Amino acid sequence: MQQQDSKIPKFIRQISVVGLGEVSSPPDCHSFQVCIRSSKENIDDVKNSVTRRLSYIEQVVKNCEFNKETKLEVYKTFSREEKLNTLVADIKLTFSNLKTCDELRNLLIEKLDSNAVDVGPVQLYHSLQNVEKLRLSASLLAIDNAKKKASAMAETMNQYLGRPLMVHEEKTHEWFGLLPNSSPEKEFNSFRQQQIKLTTKNVKCEIHAQFELLPKDQI
C-alpha cells in the first residue's frame, strides 16, 4: 500500500477583504521671493546698494524665532547696458512655520524701499518627504482597516483571524483641496485659510488583503 505524501498542502480557509485608508496634510513648506535691483553708473555703488539690503534681510532671518528651520537662497545676476550697471539679487526664503513666514514678509514690505525691492506673495507647497510620509500613512491605515474588517467578519462566523496570506495595493488616489462634490468654502474664511485648504494634499489608498481563517477549536 502506497503511503500518503505528508507534504501535500492542506486546504487553507481564507477570507478576502478590501481596506481603505484616507489621510490629509496641510503644506509643510511656505516661501516667498524677494527681488533686489540696483542700476547705477558706478559699479561699487550698485554692489553696495544690493549688499546693504541683502544683509538686512539675512539679519532679520537670523533674528527670527525659527531661524534654524528657515532656508535662504540667493541668486545674483549682473548686466551692463552702455554706462548703466545693473545688479539683481533674487532671494527665496522658505519656512516650516507659516506664521513666521507671514510676519517676516510683512516686515520686509514695511522696511524695504519698494522702488528697489519687490516682495512676492507667499507660496504654499509640500516637501517630497511630506508627500512620501502621507502616502505611507494612507497605505498603513488601509492595511489596518482591512485587518479590523477581516477580524470582525471572522468573529461573526465564529472563527479566528490567522496570518495574512496576501496584501496587494489596488489603487491610490491623490488630490489637493476639497473632496469632489464638496460644498465650497464659507465666505467668512480668510484668504490664508482658503489657500491652506486648497493646497492641502489628500491621499486615499485601497488595498486587497487575504487572511487565514482558523476554527476556534484549533486555537
Within this chain, do residues 95 and 160 fall inside the same structural domain, yes or no?
A: no
Q: How far apart are CA 188 and CA 185, in angstroms?
A: 8
Q: What is the DSSP string of 37-66?
A: EEEESSHHHHHHHHHHHHHHHHHHHHHSTT
pLDDT at 8: 46
Asked if residue 178 and residue 137 are part of one domain, the reply reads: yes
Cα 49 off chain centre by: 37
Span 184-204, mean pLDDT? Answer: 82
Q: How far apart are CA 198 and CA 192, in angstroms?
A: 10
Over residues 202-217, the mean pLDDT reads 93
Can you give the pLDDT at residue 2? 46
- Among 4-18, 124-138, 168-182, 186-200, the range scoring the smallest mean pLDDT is 4-18
- Among 125, 147, 169, which residue terminates a domain? 125
In a domain, 65, yes or no: yes
Q: Give the CATH number, domain containing residue 22.
A: 3.30.110.170
Among residues of the chain, what percentage have pLDDT more than 70? 87
> Do residues 18 and 55 share a domain?
no
* pLDDT beyond 50 at 114: yes
Rounded CA-CA distance 88/33 in Å is 13
**Which structural domain, as residue segments, surrounds residue 63?**
29-125
Residue with the bigger pLDDT between 67 and 7: it is 67
What is the pTM (predicted TM-score) of this model?
A: 0.78
pLDDT over 90, % of the chain: 73
Asked whether residue 7 is domain-assigned, the answer is no
Q: What is the mean pLDDT of residues 46-72?
A: 87
Residues 36, 120: one domain?
yes
117 and 79 in a single domain? The answer is yes
Confidence at residue 1, expressed as pLDDT on a 0 to 100 scale: 43
Q: Same domain, yes or no, for 102 and 55? A: yes
Mean pLDDT of 72-93: 93
Half-sphere exposure of 126 (CA within 13 A, CB side): 22
> Is residue 4 in a domain?
no
Same domain, 146 and 213: yes
Residue type, 149: K
On whether both 120 and 138 belong to a single domain, the answer is no
82 lies in the same domain as 52: yes
Residue 2 included in any domain: no
Q: Is 52 contained in some domain?
A: yes
Q: What is the mean pLDDT of the chain?
A: 88
Looking at residue 69, the DSSP 8-state letter turns out to be G
The mean pLDDT of 62-82, rounded to a whole number, is 85
Last residue of a domain, one of 108, 125, 142: 125
Which of 149, 101, 116 lies closest to 45 in space, CA to CA? Answer: 116
What are the tens digits of pLDDT across the range 88-99? 999 999 999 999
C-alpha closest to that of 18 among 137, 135, 153: 153
CATH number for the domain spanning 64: value is: 3.30.70.360
What pLDDT, on a 0 to 100 scale, did the predictor assign at position 22? 96
Same domain, 193 and 181: yes
Q: Are 75 and 44 contained in the same domain?
A: yes
pLDDT of residue 64: 77
Domain count, the chain: 2
159 lies in some domain:
yes
Convert the pLDDT of each residue in 15-53 to its tens digit.
Answer: 999 999 999 999 999 999 999 999 999 999 999 999 999
b/e burial code for range 63-94 (CB count within 10 A of at least 16 → b): ebeeeeebeeeeeeeeeeeeeebbbebbbebb
**Within-domain flag for 169:** yes
Residues 59 and 18 in one domain: no
In the chain, which residue ranges form alpha helices assigned H by DSSP? 43-63, 98-111, 128-156, 191-199
Residue 174 within a domain: yes
